[in-house]
Structure 1
């Protein structure tokens, strides 16, 4: 006991010295830390609403416990299979197409000269900052059945225009295209940064050996990028049970005729709870989505660890 006490003191002193040495960096990080605490961690107290019958006059802690009754809302619905299927399939499509598009674009960016790469980076990254409300209006400008750009083009080549918002099948292709267009810039920059970090000596040695550009991509770039691709893929799986509300609500314009292929868990819950005002069921669905996301990430990481331990996230 007497021997460990000085060690603890020494360890605390070293930690304090380390914090004091990096106080400028800590001050710079403090707004971000406070933002995370207030916006993401503090509201986690409200998770208990998923297991309570909340009443405003009794408050969160005073409300009655109801166990798993609030979770019945999503599973007893006649549309449960449809919205769960749509959510999972769309998210898997977004992850697959987004990863493929980002890898191709990042490799192409690396081949571009230094001056133009900034122009292309800005062009790709710009849609990421556009509000999904505005994206919905842009999509409407293309798909509006009377004067939309797409129908005007179809008319010029002798094809009949479509009422896109009253059809179901086209949205299986429209939503992935819009999702990739909006988010691919961010993923491209991540992969581009990974490619830039690769030691150029590998490429120089491959050139001396007579390797072509395509061979260098498949033998050097992609193998060395594998850890980064796996990390981004695993993190993407964390939201596989969470539909993109803005994308699936604003882009299809909330038209009931296309709900069979555009409706996901988040949009369904929003419409249902907007009518019922049931905070408890909304909290239960959000809690369920987070738990499924956590299980998916842990399971995917465990699978990666079994195949290649060095490339696992944790």
Structure 2
């Protein structure tokens, strides 16, 4: 009996080892991709601590300590772009999450599968629209031909509201950009919530129906609370990107319009513009490293808070 048990154990060990080896072989392409394109380029971070010049290269350029960081923080632009980055991303995250949750609850109440799928496709479509196309649409809505008029101003004229030159009014652009992000990400986020809703047992809804609960009461008292773990995970993932501006959307819409920089200039657009105009690789690398470190701190803080609130749904 003991010999047979040992033989069986060895067979199981060999089988398990073969399965593990097969999984490792399948993972090798992904591991290689991360090593080459994600971790390998991290060697270039030393540029943030060097007086970089093309002739000497990354490793031959002289060290200058923290002068690149000091130059950025002493420039006077740091407070503005940091505040803009956090404020805009907080608005984007809050609004898109709320819109996604509301859309998911509304779509979940549609009984017809065909209508529901059509609705999902319609609200998901903006996620694939290019930021350049969004910029052109906004110009037609806000500025019109030659920068005057625009569909929105024409609509406001009906109510005798004076026209507004939107592209020279920085105060309104955080809200305009937030509306654009809700339009882009609301449907995408709702699909994630809908996938989470499908995991909720129908028995819970049947019990609530027997107690006389309406569909609205079920959505408020059953569906929404059970979506909180998914909501928390999405918040943590979103907070991880809160220090990274949506460069593609913001730059495509705002471009180099300096009038709007007080409320729309974020770290990503600032770095791009600095590298393009000044060509200082050291300072831009320092800004990017600072951005990554602060993003890491935000992620760690968000995970700790989530773990304290709901340990079971925590990602760590």
TM above 0.5, yes or no, is yes
2:274 corresponds to which residue?
A: 272
Residues 209-241 of structure 1, C-alpha deviations (whole Å, 9 max, x = no match): 111122212221122111111010011001111
Tell me by how many angstroms 1:12 deviates: 8.0
The structure-2 alpha-carbon separation of the partners of 1:148 and 1:39, relative to structure 1 and needing over 3 Å to count, comes to: farther
Tell me by how many angstroms 1:308 deviates: 2.5
In structure 2, C-alpha distance between the alignment counterparts of 1:76 and 1:11, rounded to whole Å: 61
In structure 1, C-alpha distance between the alignment counterparts of 2:35 and 2:278, rounded to whole Å: 31
2:122 corresponds to which residue?
A: 123
In structure 2, C-alpha distance between the alignment counterparts of 1:191 and 1:140, rounded to whole Å: 32
Tell me by how many angstroms 1:35 deviates: 4.8
Tell me by how many angstroms 1:53 deviates: 2.3
1:105 corresponds to which residue?
A: 103
1:247 corresponds to which residue?
A: 249
In structure 2, C-alpha distance between the alignment counterparts of 1:69 and 1:17, rounded to whole Å: 52
The structure-2 alpha-carbon separation of the partners of 1:237 and 1:11, relative to structure 1 and needing over 3 Å to count, comes to: farther
The structure-2 alpha-carbon separation of the partners of 1:149 and 1:275, relative to structure 1 and needing over 3 Å to count, comes to: same
In structure 2, C-alpha distance between the alignment counterparts of 1:12 and 1:62, rounded to whole Å: 50
In structure 1, C-alpha distance between the alignment counterparts of 2:51 and 2:63, rounded to whole Å: 6
1:202 counterpart (201, 204, 208)? 204
In structure 1, C-alpha distance between the alignment counterparts of 2:192 and 2:90, rounded to whole Å: 20
Written as runs of structure 1 = structure 2, the 5 A alignment for 1:20-35 is: 20=22, 26=26, 35=33
User: 1:287 and 2:289 equivalent?
Assistant: yes
The answer on whether the counterparts of 1:90 and 1:176 sit within 8 Å (CA) in structure 2 is: yes
Instruction: Decide which moves more: 57-66 or 92-101.
Output: 57-66
User: 1:257 and 2:255 equivalent?
Assistant: no
2:5 corresponds to which residue?
A: none
- TM-score by structure 2 length? 0.88
The answer on whether the counterparts of 1:110 and 1:196 sit within 8 Å (CA) in structure 2 is: no
In structure 2, C-alpha distance between the alignment counterparts of 1:49 and 1:164, rounded to whole Å: 40
The structure-2 alpha-carbon separation of the partners of 1:148 and 1:275, relative to structure 1 and needing over 3 Å to count, comes to: same
In structure 1, C-alpha distance between the alignment counterparts of 2:128 and 2:33, rounded to whole Å: 20
In structure 2, C-alpha distance between the alignment counterparts of 1:257 and 1:15, rounded to whole Å: 63
In structure 2, C-alpha distance between the alignment counterparts of 1:134 and 1:17, rounded to whole Å: 48
In structure 2, C-alpha distance between the alignment counterparts of 1:49 and 1:13, rounded to whole Å: 48
The structure-2 alpha-carbon separation of the partners of 1:11 and 1:141, relative to structure 1 and needing over 3 Å to count, comes to: farther
Structure 2: any 5+ residue segments left out of the alignment?
1-8
The answer on whether the counterparts of 1:88 and 1:241 sit within 8 Å (CA) in structure 2 is: yes
In structure 2, C-alpha distance between the alignment counterparts of 1:15 and 1:125, rounded to whole Å: 43
In structure 2, C-alpha distance between the alignment counterparts of 1:21 and 1:164, rounded to whole Å: 55
Residues 72-120 of structure 1, C-alpha deviations (whole Å, 9 max, x = no match): 2321121221211111111111111111110000111111221012211
In structure 2, C-alpha distance between the alignment counterparts of 1:80 and 1:128, rounded to whole Å: 31
3-state SS in 2 of match to 1:210: coil
In structure 2, C-alpha distance between the alignment counterparts of 1:280 and 1:271, rounded to whole Å: 14
The answer on whether the counterparts of 2:100 and 2:185 sit within 8 Å (CA) in structure 1 is: no
1:175 corresponds to which residue?
A: 177
The structure-2 alpha-carbon separation of the partners of 1:75 and 1:15, relative to structure 1 and needing over 3 Å to count, comes to: farther
Tell me by how many angstroms 1:125 deviates: 1.4
Tell me by how many angstroms 1:31 deviates: 6.3
3-state SS in 2 of match to 1:312: coil
User: 1:85 and 2:64 equivalent?
Assistant: no
The structure-2 alpha-carbon separation of the partners of 1:253 and 1:188, relative to structure 1 and needing over 3 Å to count, comes to: same
The answer on whether the counterparts of 1:74 and 1:80 sit within 8 Å (CA) in structure 2 is: yes
The answer on whether the counterparts of 2:274 and 2:284 sit within 8 Å (CA) in structure 1 is: no
1:75 counterpart (60, 73, 76)? 73
4+ runs of 1 displaced by more than 6 Å? Answer: 10-13
Instruction: Decide which moves more: 148-157 or 88-97.
Output: 148-157
